Protein backbone atom coordinates (compact mmCIF):
# COMPACT_ATOMS: atom_id res chain seq x y z
CA UNK A 1 0.00 0.00 0.00
CA UNK A 2 2.95 2.26 0.69
CA UNK A 3 4.29 1.83 -2.80
CA UNK A 4 0.82 2.49 -4.15
CA UNK A 5 0.80 5.80 -2.32
CA UNK A 6 4.11 6.90 -3.75
CA UNK A 7 2.87 5.94 -7.19
CA UNK A 8 -0.09 8.15 -6.45
CA UNK A 9 2.19 11.03 -5.63
CA UNK A 10 3.80 10.57 -9.02
CA UNK A 11 0.36 10.46 -10.58
CA UNK A 12 -0.40 13.75 -8.90
CA UNK A 13 2.61 15.36 -10.51
CA UNK A 14 2.33 13.66 -13.85
CA UNK A 15 -1.39 14.10 -14.29
CA UNK A 16 -1.19 17.82 -13.74
CA UNK A 17 1.99 18.88 -15.45
CA UNK A 18 2.09 16.92 -18.66
CA UNK A 19 4.00 18.55 -21.45
CA UNK A 20 1.99 18.79 -24.61
CA UNK A 21 4.90 18.27 -26.98
CA UNK A 22 5.62 14.89 -25.55
CA UNK A 23 1.98 13.88 -25.60
CA UNK A 24 0.34 15.41 -28.68
CA UNK A 25 -3.09 14.08 -27.75
CA UNK A 26 -2.90 14.97 -24.07
CA UNK A 27 -6.16 15.90 -22.38
CA UNK A 28 -4.34 17.88 -19.71
CA UNK A 29 -2.51 20.38 -21.90
CA UNK A 30 -5.26 22.88 -22.74
CA UNK A 31 -4.86 25.44 -25.51
CA UNK A 32 -8.37 26.91 -25.70
CA UNK A 33 -10.77 28.60 -23.28
CA UNK A 34 -12.98 25.49 -23.41
CA UNK A 35 -10.13 23.13 -22.56
CA UNK A 36 -8.94 25.56 -19.88
CA UNK A 37 -12.29 25.54 -18.12
CA UNK A 38 -12.33 21.76 -18.11
CA UNK A 39 -8.76 21.52 -16.93
CA UNK A 40 -9.29 23.96 -14.08
CA UNK A 41 -12.26 21.95 -12.92
CA UNK A 42 -10.32 18.72 -13.24
CA UNK A 43 -7.46 20.03 -11.11
CA UNK A 44 -9.87 21.14 -8.39
CA UNK A 45 -11.62 17.80 -8.29
CA UNK A 46 -8.35 15.91 -8.54
CA UNK A 47 -7.09 17.46 -5.31
CA UNK A 48 -10.37 16.93 -3.50
CA UNK A 49 -10.30 13.24 -4.39
CA UNK A 50 -6.65 12.97 -3.38
CA UNK A 51 -7.53 14.40 0.03
CA UNK A 52 -10.34 11.89 0.43
CA UNK A 53 -8.11 9.04 -0.70
CA UNK A 54 -5.38 10.08 1.70
CA UNK A 55 -7.83 10.24 4.59
CA UNK A 56 -9.30 6.82 3.81
CA UNK A 57 -5.95 5.12 3.26
CA UNK A 58 -4.23 6.66 6.27
CA UNK A 59 -7.07 5.69 8.60
CA UNK A 60 -7.25 2.24 7.02
CA UNK A 61 -3.51 1.71 7.40
CA UNK A 62 -3.71 2.83 11.01
CA UNK A 63 -6.55 0.40 11.70
CA UNK A 64 -4.78 -2.50 10.03
CA UNK A 65 -1.66 -2.00 12.11
CA UNK A 66 -3.24 -1.01 15.39
CA UNK A 67 -6.07 -3.50 15.62
CA UNK A 68 -4.57 -6.67 14.26
CA UNK A 69 -5.31 -9.57 16.57
CA UNK A 70 -2.59 -10.37 19.08
CA UNK A 71 -2.37 -13.35 21.41
CA UNK A 72 -3.32 -11.12 24.31
CA UNK A 73 -6.09 -9.26 22.46
CA UNK A 74 -9.16 -9.01 24.66
CA UNK A 75 -12.56 -9.65 23.15
CA UNK A 76 -13.34 -6.45 21.27
CA UNK A 77 -15.98 -4.16 22.66
CA UNK A 78 -19.20 -4.92 20.80
CA UNK A 79 -20.12 -1.53 19.37
CA UNK A 80 -23.17 -1.45 17.11
CA UNK A 81 -22.88 2.06 15.78
CA UNK A 82 -22.81 5.71 16.58
CA UNK A 83 -25.34 8.15 15.21
CA UNK A 84 -23.08 11.16 15.51
CA UNK A 85 -20.35 9.53 13.47
CA UNK A 86 -22.82 8.44 10.81
CA UNK A 87 -24.09 11.99 10.50
CA UNK A 88 -20.56 13.34 10.38
CA UNK A 89 -19.41 11.10 7.56
CA UNK A 90 -22.58 11.74 5.64
CA UNK A 91 -22.37 15.51 5.91
CA UNK A 92 -18.62 15.69 5.34
CA UNK A 93 -18.69 14.07 1.88
CA UNK A 94 -21.93 15.91 1.11
CA UNK A 95 -20.15 19.22 1.61
CA UNK A 96 -17.31 18.15 -0.63
CA UNK A 97 -19.83 17.09 -3.25
CA UNK A 98 -21.45 20.52 -3.09
CA UNK A 99 -18.01 22.12 -3.42
CA UNK A 100 -17.47 20.10 -6.59
CA UNK A 101 -20.98 20.40 -7.96
CA UNK A 102 -21.18 24.20 -7.95
CA UNK A 103 -18.22 24.91 -10.25
CA UNK A 104 -19.17 21.87 -12.32
CA UNK A 105 -22.65 23.13 -13.07
CA UNK A 106 -21.29 26.61 -13.76
CA UNK A 107 -18.89 25.07 -16.25
CA UNK A 108 -21.65 22.95 -17.80
CA UNK A 109 -23.55 26.09 -18.68
CA UNK A 110 -20.51 28.19 -19.55
CA UNK A 111 -19.08 25.68 -22.01
CA UNK A 112 -22.38 25.20 -23.81
CA UNK A 113 -23.10 28.91 -24.21
CA UNK A 114 -23.24 29.87 -27.86
CA UNK A 115 -20.69 32.64 -28.48
CA UNK A 116 -21.68 35.62 -30.57
CA UNK A 117 -20.09 36.07 -33.98
CA UNK A 118 -18.34 32.77 -33.97
CA UNK A 119 -16.95 31.06 -37.04
CA UNK A 120 -19.24 28.11 -37.72
CA UNK A 121 -17.66 24.97 -39.10
CA UNK A 122 -19.74 21.96 -39.93
CA UNK A 123 -18.08 18.72 -38.84
CA UNK A 124 -19.40 15.56 -40.44
CA UNK A 125 -18.25 12.15 -39.24
CA UNK A 126 -17.90 9.37 -41.79
CA UNK A 127 -16.69 5.80 -41.51
CA UNK A 128 -13.67 6.47 -41.12
CA UNK A 129 -12.79 10.06 -41.86
CA UNK A 130 -13.83 13.61 -41.05
CA UNK A 131 -15.40 16.15 -43.34
CA UNK A 132 -15.22 19.88 -42.55
CA UNK A 133 -17.41 22.47 -44.24
CA UNK A 134 -17.33 26.23 -43.92
CA UNK A 135 -20.96 27.25 -44.46
CA UNK A 136 -20.18 30.93 -43.90
CA UNK A 137 -17.53 30.80 -46.61
CA UNK A 138 -19.48 29.45 -49.50
CA UNK A 139 -19.75 25.99 -48.06
CA UNK A 140 -16.22 25.13 -49.07
CA UNK A 141 -15.20 21.63 -48.01
CA UNK A 142 -12.06 19.94 -46.76
CA UNK A 143 -11.29 16.67 -45.04
CA UNK A 144 -9.38 15.35 -42.04
CA UNK A 145 -7.41 18.54 -41.41
CA UNK A 146 -9.44 21.34 -39.93
CA UNK A 147 -8.10 24.88 -40.12
CA UNK A 148 -9.28 27.50 -37.65
CA UNK A 149 -8.00 30.97 -36.81
CA UNK A 150 -6.46 31.71 -33.44
CA UNK A 151 -8.27 34.06 -31.07
CA UNK A 152 -11.60 33.84 -32.85
CA UNK A 153 -14.56 32.00 -31.31
CA UNK A 154 -15.24 28.83 -33.31
CA UNK A 155 -18.44 26.81 -33.21
CA UNK A 156 -18.30 23.28 -34.54
CA UNK A 157 -21.65 21.98 -35.69
CA UNK A 158 -21.44 18.20 -35.46
CA UNK A 159 -23.33 15.45 -37.15
CA UNK A 160 -22.66 12.17 -38.85
CA UNK A 161 -23.31 10.70 -42.22
CA UNK A 162 -23.55 7.13 -41.00
CA UNK A 163 -23.05 5.92 -37.42
CA UNK A 164 -22.28 7.84 -34.24
CA UNK A 165 -18.77 9.31 -34.06
CA UNK A 166 -17.25 11.57 -31.45
CA UNK A 167 -15.08 14.59 -32.18
CA UNK A 168 -12.15 14.68 -29.78
CA UNK A 169 -9.10 16.89 -30.07
CA UNK A 170 -8.04 16.83 -26.42
CA UNK A 171 -5.94 19.98 -26.44
CA UNK A 172 -8.85 21.96 -27.84
CA UNK A 173 -11.29 20.63 -25.25
CA UNK A 174 -13.71 17.84 -24.53
CA UNK A 175 -15.35 15.51 -26.97
CA UNK A 176 -18.85 15.70 -28.33
CA UNK A 177 -20.73 13.06 -30.30
CA UNK A 178 -21.46 13.49 -33.98
CA UNK A 179 -24.86 11.84 -34.21
CA UNK A 180 -26.56 10.81 -37.43
CA UNK A 181 -29.01 13.56 -38.32
CA UNK A 182 -32.40 12.45 -37.17
CA UNK A 183 -35.00 13.40 -39.75
CA UNK A 184 -37.95 15.30 -38.30
CA UNK A 185 -41.43 16.10 -39.58
CA UNK A 186 -41.75 19.30 -41.56
CA UNK A 187 -41.63 22.46 -39.51
CA UNK A 188 -39.38 21.05 -36.81
CA UNK A 189 -35.70 21.81 -36.38
CA UNK A 190 -32.90 19.34 -36.92
CA UNK A 191 -30.84 18.77 -33.82
CA UNK A 192 -27.09 19.28 -34.01
CA UNK A 193 -24.44 18.94 -31.36
CA UNK A 194 -22.02 21.80 -30.86
CA UNK A 195 -18.53 22.45 -29.58
CA UNK A 196 -17.53 26.05 -28.89
CA UNK A 197 -13.97 27.17 -28.29
CA UNK A 198 -11.56 30.01 -28.86
CA UNK A 199 -8.07 28.80 -29.65
CA UNK A 200 -5.31 30.53 -27.74
CA UNK A 201 -2.21 29.08 -29.41
CA UNK A 202 -1.07 28.42 -32.94
CA UNK A 203 -0.15 24.85 -33.71
CA UNK A 204 -1.20 21.52 -35.09
CA UNK A 205 -3.25 19.41 -32.72
CA UNK A 206 -4.02 15.73 -32.95
CA UNK A 207 -7.38 14.19 -32.38
CA UNK A 208 -9.42 11.15 -33.23
CA UNK A 209 -12.85 9.63 -33.13
CA UNK A 210 -13.82 8.66 -29.60
CA UNK A 211 -17.04 6.73 -30.13
CA UNK A 212 -16.66 3.19 -31.40
CA UNK A 213 -17.81 3.34 -35.01
CA UNK A 214 -16.81 0.06 -36.62
CA UNK A 215 -13.84 -1.85 -37.97
CA UNK A 216 -11.41 1.04 -38.33
CA UNK A 217 -12.58 3.20 -35.46
CA UNK A 218 -9.04 3.25 -34.14
CA UNK A 219 -7.79 4.67 -37.45
CA UNK A 220 -10.11 7.66 -37.64
CA UNK A 221 -7.76 10.45 -36.77
CA UNK A 222 -7.62 14.10 -37.64
CA UNK A 223 -5.48 17.22 -37.29
CA UNK A 224 -6.57 20.69 -36.31
CA UNK A 225 -4.38 23.51 -37.55
CA UNK A 226 -4.72 26.67 -35.52
CA UNK A 227 -3.15 29.56 -37.44
CA UNK A 228 -3.22 33.35 -37.63
CA UNK A 229 -6.24 35.01 -39.16
CA UNK A 230 -4.17 35.98 -42.23
CA UNK A 231 -2.90 32.46 -42.80
CA UNK A 232 -6.37 31.13 -42.30
CA UNK A 233 -7.88 33.59 -44.77
CA UNK A 234 -5.23 32.77 -47.35
CA UNK A 235 -5.80 29.05 -46.89
CA UNK A 236 -9.53 29.49 -47.23
CA UNK A 237 -9.06 31.51 -50.41
CA UNK A 238 -6.81 28.82 -51.88
CA UNK A 239 -9.27 26.14 -50.88
CA UNK A 240 -12.10 28.01 -52.52
CA UNK A 241 -10.14 28.63 -55.70
CA UNK A 242 -9.02 25.05 -55.89
CA UNK A 243 -6.99 23.83 -58.84
CA UNK A 244 -8.54 24.90 -62.11
CA UNK A 245 -6.43 23.51 -64.91
CA UNK A 246 -5.14 26.87 -66.03
CA UNK A 247 -3.82 27.87 -62.66
CA UNK A 248 -2.73 24.53 -61.30
CA UNK A 249 0.87 25.03 -62.18
CA UNK A 250 1.27 28.55 -60.89
CA UNK A 251 -0.31 27.44 -57.66
CA UNK A 252 2.02 24.53 -57.41
CA UNK A 253 4.94 26.85 -58.11
CA UNK A 254 3.97 29.43 -55.56
CA UNK A 255 3.01 27.01 -52.91
CA UNK A 256 4.88 27.60 -49.69
CA UNK A 257 4.87 24.48 -47.59
CA UNK A 258 2.85 25.19 -44.47
CA UNK A 259 4.06 24.54 -41.00
CA UNK A 260 2.06 21.35 -41.02
CA UNK A 261 3.52 20.21 -44.30
CA UNK A 262 6.06 17.45 -44.15
CA UNK A 263 7.42 17.93 -47.62
CA UNK A 264 10.90 18.71 -46.37
CA UNK A 265 11.36 15.32 -44.85
CA UNK A 266 10.24 13.43 -47.90
CA UNK A 267 12.35 10.69 -49.40
CA UNK A 268 14.08 11.26 -52.71
CA UNK A 269 11.60 10.48 -55.45
CA UNK A 270 8.87 12.73 -54.19
CA UNK A 271 11.21 15.67 -53.71
CA UNK A 272 12.61 15.27 -57.18
CA UNK A 273 9.10 15.05 -58.48
CA UNK A 274 8.21 18.30 -56.80
CA UNK A 275 11.44 19.89 -58.00
CA UNK A 276 10.86 18.83 -61.59
CA UNK A 277 7.43 20.40 -61.43
CA UNK A 278 8.86 23.69 -60.32
CA UNK A 279 11.28 23.72 -63.21
CA UNK A 280 8.57 23.04 -65.75
CA UNK A 281 7.57 26.23 -67.55
CA UNK A 282 4.19 24.89 -68.58
CA UNK A 283 2.01 22.18 -67.23
CA UNK A 284 3.91 18.97 -66.68
CA UNK A 285 2.41 16.29 -68.93
CA UNK A 286 2.70 13.77 -66.10
CA UNK A 287 0.51 15.99 -63.93
CA UNK A 288 -2.00 16.33 -66.72
CA UNK A 289 -2.04 12.57 -67.13
CA UNK A 290 -2.54 12.13 -63.41
CA UNK A 291 -5.46 14.54 -63.53
CA UNK A 292 -7.01 12.63 -66.40
CA UNK A 293 -6.63 9.35 -64.56
CA UNK A 294 -8.19 10.99 -61.50
CA UNK A 295 -11.10 12.27 -63.55
CA UNK A 296 -11.63 8.89 -65.14
CA UNK A 297 -11.28 6.75 -62.03
CA UNK A 298 -11.62 8.73 -58.80
CA UNK A 299 -13.91 11.65 -59.45
CA UNK A 300 -17.13 9.70 -58.91
CA UNK A 301 -16.42 9.83 -55.18
CA UNK A 302 -13.71 12.47 -54.68
CA UNK A 303 -13.94 16.15 -55.50
CA UNK A 304 -11.10 18.58 -56.21
CA UNK A 305 -12.27 22.16 -56.26
CA UNK A 306 -11.81 23.68 -59.68
CA UNK A 307 -11.28 20.28 -61.28
CA UNK A 308 -14.29 18.14 -60.56
CA UNK A 309 -16.86 18.72 -57.88
CA UNK A 310 -19.22 15.88 -58.68
CA UNK A 311 -17.89 13.34 -56.18
CA UNK A 312 -19.24 14.14 -52.75
CA UNK A 313 -19.16 10.86 -50.82
CA UNK A 314 -15.41 10.65 -50.23
CA UNK A 315 -12.93 13.16 -48.83
CA UNK A 316 -12.46 16.37 -50.82
CA UNK A 317 -8.86 16.35 -52.04
CA UNK A 318 -8.33 20.06 -52.71
CA UNK A 319 -4.92 21.24 -51.46
CA UNK A 320 -4.09 17.63 -50.60
CA UNK A 321 -0.37 18.28 -51.05
CA UNK A 322 -0.45 20.70 -48.15
CA UNK A 323 -1.82 18.20 -45.67
CA UNK A 324 0.54 16.65 -43.19
CA UNK A 325 -1.21 13.30 -43.23
CA UNK A 326 -3.48 11.16 -45.34
CA UNK A 327 -6.00 8.42 -44.57
CA UNK A 328 -7.52 10.40 -41.69
CA UNK A 329 -4.31 11.09 -39.84
CA UNK A 330 -2.94 7.58 -40.22
CA UNK A 331 -0.16 7.97 -42.79
CA UNK A 332 2.38 10.69 -43.33
CA UNK A 333 1.56 12.55 -46.50
CA UNK A 334 4.07 11.59 -49.22
CA UNK A 335 3.89 10.02 -52.62
CA UNK A 336 4.87 6.55 -51.45
CA UNK A 337 2.15 6.51 -48.86
CA UNK A 338 -0.35 7.85 -51.38
CA UNK A 339 0.59 4.98 -53.67
CA UNK A 340 0.20 2.53 -50.83
CA UNK A 341 -3.17 3.96 -49.90
CA UNK A 342 -4.53 4.04 -53.44
CA UNK A 343 -3.29 0.54 -54.16
CA UNK A 344 -4.65 -1.14 -51.09
CA UNK A 345 -6.65 1.02 -48.71
CA UNK A 346 -8.07 -2.03 -46.94
CA UNK A 347 -4.66 -2.97 -45.62
CA UNK A 348 -4.26 0.50 -44.16
CA UNK A 349 -7.81 0.86 -42.95
CA UNK A 350 -9.95 -2.27 -42.78
CA UNK A 351 -13.55 -1.64 -43.68
CA UNK A 352 -12.86 1.70 -45.35
CA UNK A 353 -15.35 2.44 -48.08
CA UNK A 354 -12.54 3.12 -50.55
CA UNK A 355 -12.12 -0.14 -52.40
CA UNK A 356 -8.72 -1.36 -53.42
CA UNK A 357 -6.83 -3.97 -55.35
CA UNK A 358 -6.94 -6.40 -52.48
CA UNK A 359 -10.52 -5.67 -51.71
CA UNK A 360 -12.22 -8.57 -49.97
CA UNK A 361 -15.77 -8.56 -48.67
CA UNK A 362 -17.27 -5.95 -46.40
CA UNK A 363 -19.21 -2.93 -47.52
CA UNK A 364 -19.97 -1.98 -50.20
CA UNK A 365 -19.92 -5.08 -52.35
CA UNK A 366 -18.28 -3.42 -55.33
CA UNK A 367 -15.16 -3.88 -57.33
CA UNK A 368 -12.96 -0.86 -57.61
CA UNK A 369 -13.56 0.65 -61.05
CA UNK A 370 -9.83 1.33 -61.37
CA UNK A 371 -8.98 -2.30 -60.91
CA UNK A 372 -7.02 -2.22 -64.11
CA UNK A 373 -4.76 0.71 -63.20
CA UNK A 374 -1.15 -0.27 -63.55
CA UNK A 375 1.26 0.42 -60.69
CA UNK A 376 2.75 3.19 -62.83
CA UNK A 377 -0.62 4.80 -63.29
CA UNK A 378 -1.27 4.64 -59.55
CA UNK A 379 2.00 6.49 -58.99
CA UNK A 380 1.02 9.05 -61.60
CA UNK A 381 -2.24 9.72 -59.77
CA UNK A 382 -0.37 9.94 -56.48
CA UNK A 383 2.07 12.42 -57.96
CA UNK A 384 -0.79 14.51 -59.26
CA UNK A 385 -2.56 14.50 -55.91
CA UNK A 386 0.64 15.40 -54.11
CA UNK A 387 1.07 18.35 -56.43
CA UNK A 388 -2.20 19.88 -55.27
CA UNK A 389 -0.93 22.72 -53.12
Partner 1 sequence: MSVTTAPTPATSPETHHEATGLWSWITTVDHKRIGIMYFVTSLFFLGVGGIEALIIRLQLFSPENQLISAQLYNQLFTMHGTTMIFLVAMPQAVAFFNYIVPLQIGARDVAFPRLNALSYWIYLFGAIYLNVSWFVGAAPNTSWVGYANLTSTQFSPGLNVDFWVLGLSILGVSSIMGGVNFITTIINLRAPGMKLMRMPLFTWMTFVTSFLLVTALPVIAVALILLAFDRFFATNFFVASAGGDPVLWQHLFWIFGHPEVYILVLPAFGVISDVIPAFSRKPLFGYPVVVYAGVLIGFIGWGVWSHHMFTSGLGPIADSFFVASTMIIAIPTGVKIFNWMATMWGGALRFTTAMMFAVGLVALFTVGGLSGIMHSSAPVDLQQHDSYFVVAHFHYVIVGGILLGMFSGVYYWFPKVTGRLLSEKLGKLHFWTTIIGFNLTFFPMHFSGMYGMPRRTWTYQAELNVEIYNQLSTVGAFFLGASTLLLLWNIWKSLKSGEKAGHNPWGAPTLEWSIPSPPHHYNFPELPEVRSREPLWHDDEKAAIEAVTLKEPVTEPEMPNPSFWPIIVALGTTVTWALVMTGKWWAPLLGLAFTAVGIYGWAFEDPFKKKAAH
Partner 2 sequence: MAEAAAVAHDDHHYTSTGLNSWKVGFWTFIGSECLFFGTLLSTYMVYKGAALQGPYPGDVFDIPLTTVSTFVLLMSSLAMVLALDGVQRANKKLTLFWLGVVIVFGAIFLGFQYYEFNHFVHEGLTLQQSVFGSTFFVLTGFHGAHVTVGVIWMISLFVMALRGKLPPEKALNVEIAGLYWHFVDIVWIVIFVLVYLIP
Between 84 and 185, CB nearer to partner 2? 185
Q: How far is the CB of 330 from partner 1 (least distance, A)?
A: 8
Q: Does residue 9 belong to the site contacting partner 1 (CB under 8 A)?
A: no
Between 185 and 361, CB nearer to partner 2? 185
Q: Does residue 313 belong to the site contacting partner 1 (CB under 8 A)?
A: no
- Residue 108 binds which entry of partner 1, partner 2, none, with Cβ cut-offs from 5 to 8 Å by kind? partner 1
Between 1 and 366, CB nearer to partner 1? 1
Between 96 and 288, CB nearer to partner 1? 96
- Residue 82 binds which entry of partner 1, partner 2, none, with Cβ cut-offs from 5 to 8 Å by kind? partner 1
From CA 364, how far away is CA 346, in angstroms rounded?
A: 12
Between 139 and 180, CB nearer to partner 2? 180
Buried b (16+ CB within 10 A) or exposed e, 301-330: bbbbbbbbeebeebbbbbbbbbbbbbbbbb
Q: Are 285 and 275 in contact (CB under 8 A)?
A: no
Q: How far is the CB of 228 from partner 2 (least distance, A)?
A: 45
Q: How far is the CB of 180 from partner 2 (least distance, A)?
A: 15
Between 275 and 363, CB nearer to partner 1? 363
Greatest alpha-carbon pair distance for the chain in Å reads: 100
CA–CA distances in Å: residue 178 to residues 115, 147, 166, 384:
20, 19, 5, 33
List, in sequence order, every residue forming a beta bridge with 129; answer none if it has no partner: 126
Neighbours of 53 (CB within 10 A): 12
Footprint (CB under 8 A) of partner 2, residues 169-228: 183-185
125-164 mask for partner 1 (x: CB under 8 A)? --x------------------------------x---xxx
- Residue 243 binds which entry of partner 1, partner 2, none, with Cβ cut-offs from 5 to 8 Å by kind? none
Between 17 and 188, CB nearer to partner 2? 188
The total number of residues written for the chain in this structure: 389
Between 81 and 187, CB nearer to partner 2? 187
Q: Are 248 and 386 in contact (CB under 8 A)?
A: no
Q: Does residue 211 belong to the site contacting partner 1 (CB under 8 A)?
A: yes
Residue 380, CB-side half-sphere exposure with 13 Å CA sphere: 19
From CA 326, how far away is CA 287, in angstroms rounded?
A: 20
Residue 77 phi/psi, 5-degree rounding, is -65, 130
Pairing between strand 119-126 and 153-160?
parallel
Q: How far is the CB of 200 from partner 1 (least distance, A)?
A: 17
Strands (E) in 217-296, as ranges, are 221-227
Q: Does residue 306 belong to the site contacting partner 1 (CB under 8 A)?
A: no
Q: Does residue 183 belong to the site contacting partner 1 (CB under 8 A)?
A: yes
Q: Does residue 109 belong to the site contacting partner 1 (CB under 8 A)?
A: yes
Burial of 374 (0-12, 13-18, 19+ CB in 10 A): exposed
Q: How far is the CB of 182 from partner 2 (least distance, A)?
A: 8
Between 101 and 310, CB nearer to partner 1? 101
Q: Which of 136, 138, 181, 275 binds partner 1 (CB under 8 A)?
A: 181
Q: How far is the CB of 145 from partner 1 (least distance, A)?
A: 15
In the three-class reduction of DSSP (H, G, I as helix; E, B as strand; rest coil), residue 331 is classed as strand
H helical segments located in 179-284: 229-241, 245-254, 268-279
Q: What is the DSSP string of 193-216?
A: EEEEEEB-S-EEEEEE--S--STT
Q: Which of 4, 13, 114, 264 binds partner 1 (CB under 8 A)?
A: 4
From the list 73-81, 233-241, 314-322, 372-380, the region that binds partner 1 by CB under 8 A is 73-81
The footprint of partner 2 (CB under 8 A) covers 183-185
Amino acid sequence: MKSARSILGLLGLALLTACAGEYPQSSIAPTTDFADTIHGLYVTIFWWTMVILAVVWVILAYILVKYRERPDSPKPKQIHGHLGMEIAWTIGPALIVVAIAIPTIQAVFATQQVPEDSLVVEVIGHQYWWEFRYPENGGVITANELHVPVGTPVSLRLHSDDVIHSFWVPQLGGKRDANPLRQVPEGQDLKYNWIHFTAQENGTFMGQCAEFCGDSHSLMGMRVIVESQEEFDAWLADLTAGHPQTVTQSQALNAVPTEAGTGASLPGPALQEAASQEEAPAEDPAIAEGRNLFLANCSACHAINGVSEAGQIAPNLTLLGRRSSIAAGMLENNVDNLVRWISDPQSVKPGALMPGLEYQGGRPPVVWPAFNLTPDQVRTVANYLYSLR
